[in-house]
Amino acid sequence: MAEQQIADAATSKEQPEKGPNEWGQAIAAVVLVGGLAAFLLSGAFQQKSGEPEPAACDASSEARPSKPVSGAQLCTALNRADLPTLLGTPAEYAMNASGNESTSTWADGTKDVTPEAEVQLATYSVKLSTSDDDIAVAEMAAFLGSSTQSRTIGGHPAVLYSNRTISLKFDFGDDKVDTGPGGIARSLLVAKDTKDGGGFYEVSIWRQDDVVPDDLALVRVAERVLPTVPGWAAG
């Protein structure tokens, strides 16, 4: 899910080139959104040469027809050509784009499938998921606490809230992973219908530099992307 950096190692004519296990550490930040979405580590480090081309949704992620909308369909909706402009970073492009279905198993053996998609740019990462639970957004707002803010997206009740990302630090030499607090993610829960009868979409953005994301950018993305998701009920 999000940023990766590989430290540079200095070399000289008197010193042999370092092996792959001596190159230092890679750092990645991932987001865990409000306990509502699955833990997702996004993307692999990519080096691009020449003129960059935006990443396309991975065709191998075509999901089973277990839900009205699949992760692949969410990826197609999210990975739109104007996404960088909506985020306020028009010069950037999609570095990674993926869609999948995560599965959670409850104590009684019931399995819950969550379609989700993520697109990573140089500044922002954006995630879109959907839930068919019977819980209304108004109920979720009470669960998320007093810091939530009510919104309306395309005539659908919505709630805006924050969560902190998790920073992962990989030490390739010692095969260890350290975790710590990351930056802030801003998320919108948007009701599936205008009456808030249960079920919701979730749109989240966070920055690779751990700066607090722009709420207006999040709202712009939600307003443009959600009406293109299959099954969206027009307000």
Relative to beta strand 25-30, strand 4-6 is antiparallel
Q: Which two tokens stand for residue 38?
A: 């699955």
Establish if 2 belongs to a structural domain.
Answer: no
Whether 68 and 114 have beta carbons less than 8 Å apart is answered as no
Count Cα atoms within 13 angstroms, Cβ side, for 139: 9
Establish if 114 belongs to a structural domain.
Answer: yes
Domain of residue 209 covers 23-41+55-228
> One digit per residue, pLDDT tens: the chain, 235 residues?
333 333 333 333 344 433 333 333 333 444 444 333 333 333 333 334 455 789 999 755 454 545 678 999 999 999 999 999 999 999 999 999 999 988 777 777 777 788 999 999 999 999 999 998 889 999 999 888 888 999 999 999 999 999 866 655 555 566 665 565 567 899 999 999 999 999 999 999 999 887 899 999 999 999 999 999 999 988 7
Three-state SS at 10:
coil
Establish if 6 belongs to a structural domain.
Answer: no
Whether 75 and 52 have beta carbons less than 8 Å apart is answered as no
Beta bridge partners of 128: 117, 203
Establish if 207 belongs to a structural domain.
Answer: yes
- How many angstroms separate the CA atoms of 184 and 217, rounded? 14
How many CB atoms are located within 10 Å of the residue 173 CB?
13
Q: Which two tokens stand for residue 37?
A: 């979405």
Establish if 15 belongs to a structural domain.
Answer: no
Query: What pLDDT, on a 0 to 100 scale, did the predictor assign at position 183?
Result: 75
Q: Which two tokens stand for residue 193?
A: 């219908």
For residue 139, CA distances in Å to 113, 119, 143, 187, 199 come to 21, 28, 7, 16, 11
Residues 6+ positions from 147 with CB-CB distance below 8 Å? 161, 162
Beta strands in 132-175 (DSSP E): 149-153, 156-171
Number of domains the chain contains:
1
Establish if 5 belongs to a structural domain.
Answer: no
Q: Which two tokens stand for residue 101?
A: 């279905």
Query: What pLDDT, on a 0 to 100 scale, did the predictor assign at position 33?
Result: 40
Establish if 14 belongs to a structural domain.
Answer: no
Whether 130 and 74 have beta carbons less than 8 Å apart is answered as yes
Nearest CA among 92, 88, 97 for reference residue 52: 92
- Residue 235 has what DSSP assignment? -
- For the CA atoms of 150, 128, 77, 210, what is the dihedral angle to 10 degrees? 90
- Residue 227 has what DSSP assignment? G
DSSP 65-104: TTSSS-HHHHHHHHS-TTHHHHTT-TT---SEEEEEEEEE
Establish if 59 belongs to a structural domain.
Answer: yes
Whether 188 and 219 have beta carbons less than 8 Å apart is answered as yes
